[in-house]
Amino acid sequence: MINKQVRLAARPDGLPKDSDWEFTETPVPEPGEDEVLVKITHVSLDPAMRGWMNPGMTYIEGVELGDVMRAGTVGIVEKSNSPALSVGDAVTGVQGAQQYAVAKPRELQKVDPSLAPLERYLGILGMPGMTAYFGLLHIGRPEPGQTVVVSGAAGAVGSAVGQMAKAKGCRAVGIAGGPEKCAYVVDALGFDACIDYKNENVRAGLKAHCPDRVDIYFDNVGGEILDAVLARLAMHARVVISGAISQYNKSKFSGPNNYIALLSARARMEGFVVFDYAKQYGAAAVEIVKWMNEGKLKTEEHVIEGIENFPSAMLRLFSGDKRGKLVLAVAEG
Ligand code: NAP
């Protein structure tokens, strides 16, 4: 049995290239004492992975050259030498861009495949869903009637943020790339409006769709869009720094020019890392599932087949050629 793996071959300069990756095939490993073998079904593709490719770009250490690329995963226990997990159990973890991995049970979380398809545990029931929940509710602190603007609105995190804002009685305005994504955000997800940043003037759109200005801006993209929203803040607004995907392929990040808008609006800008809330994920998942069952929270995964498509699939995060949570199905046979 062969384990196909994707390894980091070079540190990218700008957008990752095919030559930044190496594909290897190794024998499937045997689990040792108190370990399990997981057959990985899906690998998560996340913007944070771009940061892990160059040391010093993020809050955790980068991936070493030659190592299997770090990635969130979901899969099925195929062999178990631990009483904590049985063959057939479905588990999530950070097992990397490969088809099989050996792990200790404490490195894995058991999930229920009867409640949702496995790939959903990498999306709304996993890290992106938690990011939306804690970033919006704990940092943004929405109140009924307030206006919430979110960028990356058709993506894994952003699509959830706007719907959670609606569930909390807010006005939700998205920012996304292209008319199709904007139509999806409004018609399928129920946002009040969406600004197409690729074809519209964002400042004019904010003026039109946020008549009472912006109480919460959930920023997934940074750059010029962040500056545009800063110019439209309401008094005591909260700017939630979730990410800055427009900057991840640049050698030097550009910060907001318009930060002084925080002063006039007596506003607050605050970053967060979702893993700090790990102990509260269970309670968040209960509320997320409740919203899903009530039809208030819709979600979508964009599944690409085949581990060999890892390099091109990852680039879709930056081109925007995908909708909802991007995952790679890697199991064979
Ligand atoms: P995603 O939104 O599903 O995918 C990325 C999207 O970003 C693309 O679909 C694209 O949508 C948009 N995009 C790409 N380049 C852009 C640019 N130059 N300007 C504007 N938009 C651009 O990704 P995600 O997993 O939900 O992550 C969203 C953000 O959350 C990322 O910044 C990520 O780093 C952050 N995040 C933070 C934490 C945390 O703990 N703080 C945890 C997870 C994720 P369009 O087609 O609309 O352009």
Interval 172-198: pLDDT, tens: 999 999 999 999 999 999 999 999 999
Contact predicate 174/194, CB 8 Å: yes
Average pLDDT over residues 114-141: 97
Alpha helices in 31-186 (DSSP H): 48-52, 127-134, 156-167, 179-183
Q: Ligand 1 atom 5: the closest Cα is on which residue?
A: 317
Contact predicate 289/126, CB 8 Å: no
Average pLDDT over residues 7-13: 97
CB atoms within 10 A of CB 192: 18
Q: Report d(CA 101, CA 69) in Å as an integer.
A: 13
DSSP, collapsed to helix, strand or coil, labels residue 326 as: strand
Band of residue 199 on the pLDDT scale cut at 50, 70, 90: very high
Q: Report d(CA 37, CA 29) in Å as an integer.
A: 8
Tokens of 115: 């409640």
Q: Report d(CA 265, CA 200) in Å as an integer.
A: 25
Burial 142-155 (b: 16+ CB within 10 A, else e): beeebbbbbbbbbb
Average pLDDT over residues 6-29: 97
Contact predicate 227/257, CB 8 Å: yes
Which among 133, 184, 196, 245 is the best mutation to test ligand 1's pocket, defined by most ligand atoms within 8 Å of the CB?
Answer: 245
The phi and psi torsions of 199 (rounded to 5 degrees) equal -125, -5
Residue 243 alpha carbon, nearest atom of ligand 1: 32
* pLDDT of res. 60: 86
CB atoms within 10 A of CB 94: 14
Q: Report d(CA 14, CA 248) in Å as an integer.
A: 8
Which residues line the pocket of ligand 1, CB cutoff 6 A?
46-48, 127-128, 131, 152, 154-158, 176-177, 181, 220-221, 242-243, 245-246, 272-274, 317-318, 320, 322, 326
Which among 157, 191, 195 is the best mutation to test ligand 1's pocket, defined by most ligand atoms within 8 Å of the CB?
Answer: 157
Whole-model pTM?
A: 0.98
